[in-house]
Amino acid sequence: MVYLPEARDVAPRLATGAFVLNSGLSHLRADRATSEGLHGMAVVAYPFLDRVPAERFTRLLACAEIAVGGALLAPFVPTRLAGLALTGFSGGLVGLYLRMPGMRQPKSLRPTQDGIQLAKDVWLLGIGLGFLGAARPWQRAASRRRRTAVARCRHHCCRR
């Protein structure tokens, strides 16, 4: 079975995939200072990452971004699967925003000026969750058959 994404999913998959892939390629070439900065932020939110060296963490982050971005850009990857990857990845980014001190206004989800860079990642989570709700091809076909059958029926009992 050949999979092609729905037309409505193409634009968000391309935009999001290109954005995430570009970020991964940039992090792949990160220098030591950038690696230490990324790692330092991640450790504040996720203390268990302290055991991972900064350069290794940045390389793993880059590989994850490249994999997620590539899955979104590859038309043969089902939208729900790409959405699952994007939701998991962006969930970690939103968790970083929620756990980092100084990123949010007191007792609020609204970002501070410093938090805007991280708060913007909520759109990735929204798109990922939207992709998870994408209908499967066989569900669309069954729904279409039912609508056609109901439209043909002249009895009141079939119309809801």
Q: DSSP letter string over the chain?
A: ------HHHHHHHHHHHHHHHHHHHHHHT--HHHHHHHHHHHHHH-GGGGGS-HHHHHHHHHHHHHHHHHHHH-TTS-HHHHHHHHHHHHHHHHHHHHHSTTSB-TTSSSB-TTTHHHHTTHHHHHHHHHHHTPPPHHHHHHHHHHHHHHHH--SGGG--
In a domain, residue 141? The reply is no
Instruction: Name the band, by pLDDT with cuts 50, 70 and 90, for residue 146.
Output: low
Tell whether the model's pLDDT for residue 111 goes beyond 80: yes
In a domain, residue 52? The reply is yes
- pLDDT score recorded for residue 40: 94
Tell whether the model's pLDDT for residue 67 goes beyond 60: yes
In a domain, residue 147? The reply is no
In a domain, residue 15? The reply is yes
In a domain, residue 78? The reply is yes
In a domain, residue 87? The reply is yes
Domain hosting residue 63, numbered range: 7-135
In a domain, residue 72? The reply is yes
Structural domain count of the chain = 1
Instruction: Name the band, by pLDDT with cuts 50, 70 and 90, for residue 138.
Output: low
Higher pLDDT, 92 or 8: 92
Q: What percent of the chain has a predicted confidence (pLDDT) above 90?
A: 61
In a domain, residue 150? The reply is no
